Amino acid sequence: MKTSKIILKATLLSTCIFWLIIFSGNFESLMIPFMFLSLIPISLCCATTIMITILPFFRFKTINNKNNIVFKKYFPFYAIVCFSLCFYGVLIDLDLACFYVSAFFTTMQSWVWFGKEVESKS
Amino acid sequence: MKKISLFIGALLFSTLFYKQSLGLNMSLFSLITILVLAIYNPKSFKEKRTIALSIIYIITATSIFFYQSVLSTIANCVAFFTLIGHVSEHHSSIYINWLNGFYTFVAGFFHRNFNVIENEQKVTPKKDIDYVHWIKIIGIPLVVIIVFISLYKNGNPVFGNLISKIDFSFINLQWILLSVLGYYLLYNISTPISVNPATDSDLKTGNTLTNKTEFSIENAKKENQLGVILIALLNVLIVIFLITDFTYLVSTTDLRASVFSNQVHSGINALIASIIIAIIIILYFFRGNLNFFKDNKTLKNLAFIWIFLNMVLVVNTFIKDGQYIYYFGFTYKRIGVLIYLLLTIIGLITTAIKVKQIKNFWYLLRVNTVAAFTILIISSAINWDKQITFYNINYAQSMDFEYLIDLSNNNTFLLKQYSDNLFLKGERKTLIDKKYRYYLRELNNRNWQEYSYDNLLLKE
């Protein structure tokens, strides 16, 4: 699976979670156009985050390391740091919970997609 | 059965926590957690240590019900991670339990999801799900139906009336999302995960240093000389410091709070730096070969003397803190100093054991983290606000009344009792009555999920 495809899937997942949380609090049909418009900044956020914080683990791996080994070795610590930062963000400003929650779940799932990508190659 | 327990747990999670603050819900959630863990890991719950950790977890949850303090909440989280981590690997150190417990809690679902994918691909290639097809068969009819309903609604007043009568307001999406979150959390913890290679490496690491290689006697001799000179000088320095400190302690007659505060806090700062450097220096010299060098007795004895002198320093600070408490009563900072001194004593004793029995750094880390965990659990089971208030009202030579008012509501009933018994008048009575009124209002406004022990007292 190519990185661009993972970014696309991450964008869709992130948008769904983000708007699901917003709509759970207050649903207005006028917000629907913004939902589609938000795909642009969300895709930028996803691409940046994935390329800066996840992709390097898989691109700069040693020859002996398969993707599943990279996943098992680094994902736990990434998950812990990511959760701590997102949790801190939610504590600081509860209104941004939708952003942090979607960021957390999207990055977690992106790791699984990257790990899976390696497996399908092998 | 297993899946049903997760579903029920998720629904209960939402019922307990949706728009509620902490109270009785934490105690009930701890029971749900233990139940889910026991259903999924029955073998683990045959072990005494797992049962003990479960009891500790319940105690911390109960202390939230009793006091609702931040300390009980922190202790509850730590106990929760320890229990989950212990279920994931029974023989690992407590800090690895925390790592495993926290990771399982945070991302167990994704870890297992990845493992499932990995296993499935190794055994039989999984048939790809046709997402586009699913989106088509669900999404397209849904959109078309909504469009047609809106058209027919305007076209036929009877149909429009019927549609407008359909009320979905009883569905609370936030409540449902919280249930999903509850399911995610319970699913995560149902089968705890070990973080590797951290767990494997911890299991392989023992507590004792072993003399693996032959070492140069000449180098060991030089290092031994350096250690003897350094620790001997530090011993002399600490003796001089202690003599001057005791002289000051005995001769001082200044009983101002600011003087005491300055003494205790500067003493503590000196103590923190001194103990940390002491342990680092001892760890450095006794990190390897010098433990097995036959002429290391002088160095060892000097190290023991230094540890002992550091303990005297701790006792000295303890006396200062004790005097401070005697004259001006308890505060959280003064209790914090006492707890720090207790931890320091434990740290020094374990360092002495490390030197005597040739233990490694991991031994120190393991024993001291367990000590810190134990102290945290015990501390969380004490109603500090009430104890501080009780001591300061009854025994302290002078009391900072505003400090007692600013404490949490855990001391409200005690303050009210104090006010009624002494027939207080004036500003103090006004402040106590105000606090009491606010607290009563808060107790009465609580939902059953937020109940604490004081709610039960109120009903009697």
Rounded to 5 degrees, φ, ψ at B42 are -60, -30
Give me the helix-helix angle, A67-92 and B94-123, nearest 10°: 130
CB contacts of A108 in chain B (<8 Å) are 107, 110
Categorize the per-residue pLDDT at A121 as very low, low, confident or very high, splitting at 50, 70 and 90.
very low
- Which pLDDT value is given to residue A118? 53
Interface contacts (A, B; CB < 8 Å): 54
Considering only CB atoms, which chain B residues are within 8 Å of A109?
110
Task: Put residue B18 in one of left, alpha, beta given phi > 0 → left and psi -120 to 50 → alpha.
Answer: beta
For an interface test with A, the pick among B19, B99, B111 (most A C-beta atoms closer than 10 Å) comes out as B111
Encoded tokens for B328 = 């001006």
pLDDT value for B119: 61
Token pair of B24 as six digits: 């009785």
Q: Do A73 and B197 touch (CB under 8 A)?
A: yes
CB contact under 8 A, B114 and A21: no
pLDDT digits (tens, 9 = 90+) for B58-80: 999 999 999 888 999 999 999 99
Closest partner CB to B106 (pick from A79, A111, A115): A79
pLDDT, one tens digit per residue, over B331-375 is 998 899 899 889 989 999 999 998 888 888 889 999 999 999 999
Round the average pLDDT of chain B to a whole number and report it: 85
pLDDT exceeds 70 at position B184 = yes
B111 interfacial to chain A (CB closer than 8 Å): yes
Q: What is the enclosing helix (H) or strand (E) of B447?
A: none
**From B158-162, B397-401, B449-453, the region with the lowest mean pLDDT:** B158-162
Q: What is the pLDDT of residues A3-21, one digit of tens each?
A: 889 999 999 999 999 999 9
Residue of A nearest to B172 (CA): A24
| Percent of chain B whose predicted confidence (pLDDT) is above 90 | 30
Mean pLDDT for B421-435 is: 84
Contacts of A65 (CB under 8 A, 6+ apart): A73
* Furthest-apart CA atoms within chain A: distance in Å: 53
**pLDDT class for B213, splitting at 50, 70, 90?**
low
Find, among B209, B219, B211, B227, the residue nearest to B303 by Cα: B227
Q: Which residue has the higher pLDDT, B246 or B233?
A: B233
* Contact residues of A toward B, CB < 8 A: 20-21, 23-25, 68, 71-73, 75-77, 79-80, 83, 108-109, 111-112, 115-116, 119-120
Q: For chain A, what percentages of helix, strand and coil (3-state, to nearest 5) are there?
A: 90, 0, 10
Least confident of B245-254, B294-303, B351-360: B245-254
Q: Which helix (H) or strand (E) holds B395?
A: none
pLDDT of residue B197: 83
Q: Which residues of A touch B102 (CB under 8 A)?
A: 80
- Cα separation of B353 and B359, whole Å? 8
pLDDT at site B382 = 92
Instruction: Report the pLDDT value the prediction gives residue B38, as an integer from 0 to 100.
Output: 92
pLDDT bin (cut points 50, 70, 90) of residue A24 is: confident
Q: Which of B82, B79, B111, B87 has its CA nearest to residue B98?
A: B82
Residue B411 burial by CB count (10 A; 0-12/13-18/19+): exposed, middle or buried? buried
Of B13-17, B31-35, B281-285, B403-407, which gets the smallest average pLDDT?
B281-285
Give the pLDDT score at B99.
94
Burial of B232 from C-beta contacts in 10 A (0-12 / 13-18 / 19+): middle
Nearest CA in chain B to A17: B177
Give the tens place of pLDDT for each residue, A39-97: 999 999 999 999 999 988 888 766 666 777 888 888 999 999 999 999 999 999 888 89
B146 close to A (CB below 8 A): no
Cα separation, B14 vs B174, in Å, equals 9
Secondary structure class of A26 (helix, strand, coil): coil
The residue-averaged pLDDT of B252-274 equals: 69
Residue A122 binned pLDDT confidence (cut-offs 50, 70, 90): very low
Tell me the range of B112-116, B138-142, B434-438 where mean pLDDT is highest.
Answer: B434-438
The whole-number average pLDDT for the span B419-442 is 86
Residue with tokens 């963000």: A89
Structure tokens belonging to residue B345: 């004593």
How many whole angstroms separate alpha carbon A100 and alpha carbon A97? 5
The single-letter code of the amino acid at B85 is G
Whether A48 and A88 have beta carbons less than 8 Å apart is answered as no
- ipTM of the complex, rounded to two decimals: 0.90
Spatial distance between the Cα atoms of B148 and B143, rounded to a whole number of angstroms? 9
What residue in A sits closest to B181 (Cα-Cα)?
A101
Q: According to the model, what pLDDT value does residue A87 have? A: 94
Q: Do A83 and B107 touch (CB under 8 A)?
A: yes
Partner residue opposite B113 with nearest CB, options A73, A112, A120: A112
